[in-house]
Structure 1
């Protein structure tokens, strides 16, 4: 378990910064320790963080951490409000985006959904709205969600020092991709980057904020996502770095200019490999290709698709790395292949 070590006088300032970066571990207490040079504070950070993730801070392995008392579960909050026999199907998890709670509620609990929503707001006191989630639909993978309590569904999600504005009833935001967004944020220094299927800036924004690229071309077809992409470029003060393009990646992807190309969509991404590879300059560059792949074909199928598309364009491929992002569905993985295109 890791912690950032800072002088006691800097605790509040650093804590606020760690919260904005979405790396503060809220399960453990801040601890004051004596050092020969004075009193220092160990501020706990989430387990996947290492020293390179938090520039400018000393990150140490914390011994004997102090934990807060475990909070009551939603099931415990609802005890006495819903029948005992239904407590076993009370949701054990939910998503918090900005100041909005998003939860899936079983059919058997629909008549108690307002009770569930009120208790979720008790558990998440900074939130003001609860949405019921019914899944995703359509080409643009739009969420089906309904307000249970609250009115305003537009919010700002802060993550890793970046701000993302979105309407939680109309735009998907996957926290399961956080590690990949953090990885992309460390890349692209002094490079020209093309981000295909950019959405609201999931990869473009952190890469532009932290990676220090020359230019990022962010391409998005969905008009609503594109408008939020423009808003997030302004919100993060990236007007001179990120250029948003509204259109079909098959038609508007700039060719022969990129040091790095991100293909961060899944589903039909392979149909656009020729445009993604074509965007890379003739001297060569890196391709980050996302795909949902059956377990038995990880990583064989995405690698072969990249090689076939590159060969058709007279380009060579060197596979640099393969990453599993998350389980997409039973027997299917969301994966990323890093391939250098020559």
Structure 2
């Protein structure tokens, strides 16, 4: 082993404890987390082992890195339980939401899904349930999921110092949106904010916990999601900042008083652009989410809010675009920040 390789095996990102969960999620998504070494807490700071140096982040070389005992692979745990040729079809990744494991399973493995679920619970003994994800349905984009192992129920998910309580059988929570939730946590200080599609507080809560806006009006039409929004506001102790509103944002969005409007829905978002723009004071910022063809990004993302603003006699200044995740083959979920004057 060369000296350079030895040094790489000791590299770690250093962050405050409140930031750790979000940074870990980001590093895992980018394939930069060194899963062979343990995450180490030293006082109020956390050392997160990484595979290489990362520009813009504080890096240390650990003197005494702590290594995990290598976990068995899922395929190893299923020796003798499923036919050998089917092992190549096993899922390579899954999402742990609180104490619940969520994954998609190849249809060819359908008759083996319960033994796969049981193996995952052995792999993650702190988890109590495994759900097979089959997409979303209905106006409220409710998850289609089936219990394949353990006992389902409400769970508590912690991310970037924020608490999210939810029922994974009834409420969506996207792992791919973690970077955008972290970005929202840095915006909105002392501002009046309207979150038009608040859900359980995906964007409102990180903003309230970390940036402390003057007020956030969080509007949600789904009564189940609204119930969790109310509870999550209490759990995060931001009752003085976030006002939960149950109902249709097409009707309940206030006019002319917001410094910032979050439109964190995709698919139907364009229908509500007029209300989002009318909510903003001159100079306010709109965060417009939408799915667009990858080859038309970012123009197809910017064009609708600019056009809607022009129809209302207002000017729109694009400030930037961000790719959130791949939504489907050839389709990107993105967000554009637009200043509306």
TM range (shorter): 0.7 to 0.9
The alpha-carbon deviation at position 18 of structure 1 amounts to 6.0
| Residue 190 of structure 1: aligned partner | 190
Q: TM-score, normalised by structure 1?
A: 0.86
Structure 1: 5+ residue stretches without partners: 6-13, 34-40, 54-58
The structure 1 segments of at least 4 consecutive aligned residues displaced by more than 6 Å after TM superposition are 46-53, 63-66
2:315, 2:340 within 8 Å by CA — same for their partners in 1? yes
| Residue 236 of structure 1: aligned partner | 236
| Residue 274 of structure 2: aligned partner | 274
| Residue 13 of structure 2: aligned partner | 3
2:20, 2:46 within 8 Å by CA — same for their partners in 1? no
The alpha-carbon deviation at position 151 of structure 1 amounts to 2.5
Q: How many residues align?
A: 322
2:39, 2:49 within 8 Å by CA — same for their partners in 1? no
Q: Which moved more, 1:113-122 or 1:226-235?
A: 113-122
Structure 2: 5+ residue stretches without partners: 1-10, 26-32
2:155, 2:168 within 8 Å by CA — same for their partners in 1? yes
Rate the CA distance shift 1:46–1:336 in 2: closer, same or farther, 3 A.
farther
Secondary structure of 1:173's counterpart equals: coil
Secondary structure of 1:281's counterpart equals: strand
- Distance (Å, rounded) in 1 between the aligned partners of 2:84 and 2:75: 10
1:202-259 C-alpha deviation (Å, 9 max, x unpaired)? 0000000001100001011111111111111111111111001111111110111111
Secondary structure of 1:168's counterpart equals: coil
| Residue 180 of structure 1: aligned partner | 180
Rate the CA distance shift 1:169–1:42 in 2: closer, same or farther, 3 A.
closer
1:23, 1:49 within 8 Å by CA — same for their partners in 2? no
1:21, 1:162 within 8 Å by CA — same for their partners in 2? no
Secondary structure of 1:259's counterpart equals: strand
- Distance (Å, rounded) in 1 between the aligned partners of 2:233 and 2:100: 22
Rate the CA distance shift 1:122–1:205 in 2: closer, same or farther, 3 A.
same
2:22, 2:182 within 8 Å by CA — same for their partners in 1? no
| Residue 298 of structure 2: aligned partner | 299
Q: TM-score, normalised by structure 2?
A: 0.86
Rate the CA distance shift 1:317–1:31 in 2: closer, same or farther, 3 A.
closer
Cα RMSD, aligned residues only: 2.9
Rate the CA distance shift 1:30–1:232 in 2: closer, same or farther, 3 A.
closer
| Residue 310 of structure 2: aligned partner | 311
- Distance (Å, rounded) in 2 between the aligned partners of 1:289 and 1:256: 17
1:126-166 C-alpha deviation (Å, 9 max, x unpaired)? 10111122111112111111112222321011100001011
1:208, 1:238 within 8 Å by CA — same for their partners in 2? yes
| Residue 5 of structure 2: aligned partner | none
